[in-house]
Amino acid sequence: QIQLVESGGGSVQTGGSLKLSCVASGYADTDKKGCMGWFRQAPGKEREAVGVLARDGEIPAYGDFVKGRFTISQDSTKNTLYLQMNNLEPEDTAVYYCAARRYALICGRDFASYNYWGQGTQVTVSS
């Protein structure tokens, strides 16, 4: 069982920055071809991918709304995934979730394909 624990959410004003962290545990050696990613869900809206990354990869695939404002990175030695968010807008207000799946040829952005989820962390951006 993979467990994910997010941290780093909070409240900022428009144009501000936040960095989220997600610590993963429970991976097996055979999970090196898995995927991790960040998703978000605003009230009344569908969950959408912020960006996803292969556990053995370096280039994330981002959602169209990111527009260069967010950066996903990982520290494999710490089993930690990061989401650096800059130039935040009120439209970015949502609960942000870390997600993982054990194996995939391609790390897609469909949230339904991810089996493991963190508890979520609230990000609120005020104007």
User: Model confidence over 58-82: pLDDT tens digits?
Assistant: 889 999 999 999 999 999 888 999 9
Q: 6-39 pLDDT, tens per residue? A: 999 999 999 999 999 999 998 877 677 789 999 9
Strand runs (DSSP E) across 1-127, as ranges? 3-7, 10-13, 18-25, 35-41, 48-54, 61-62, 70-75, 80-85, 94-101, 116-117, 121-126
What pLDDT was estimated at residue 27?
A: 82
- pLDDT score of 28: 79
Can you tell me which residue has the tokens 């990613």? 37
Q: Which residues, 6+ apart, have CB-to-CB distance to 45 below 8 Å?
A: 94
**Res 49: pLDDT:** 97
